[in-house]
Amino acid sequence: MDLKAIQQLLGHEWLTTTSGYIHVRKEHVEQAWVRANTRVADRLGVGVGERL
């Protein structure tokens, strides 16, 4: 769900207040990081482990 939508639903004035309610597992962040780096490497035509 969109963080701004959650902010409005909870009636928070500041987005930082809302972000305190968001909990993301470390594994999810790491998987997203790997997927993003893989997409960038694919677009640039390099392997993920290679230097850009």
Q: Are 10 and 18 in contact (CB under 8 A)?
A: yes
The pLDDT of residue 50 is above 80: no
pLDDT digits (tens, 9 = 90+) for 23-41: 778 888 889 889 988 998 8
Per the structure, the complete domain to which residue 13 belongs is given by 3-44
Q: Per-residue pLDDT for 10 more than 70?
A: yes
* Residue 50 lies inside a defined structural domain of this protein: no
Q: How many domains does the chain have?
A: 1
pTM check: above 0.85? no
52 belongs to a structural domain: no
> What span, in angstroms and rounded, lies between the C-alpha atoms of 37 and 51?
12
Contact residues for 3 (Cβ-Cβ < 8 A; gap 6+):
15, 18, 19, 22
Q: What is the mean pLDDT of the chain?
A: 84
Is residue 49 domain-resident?
A: no
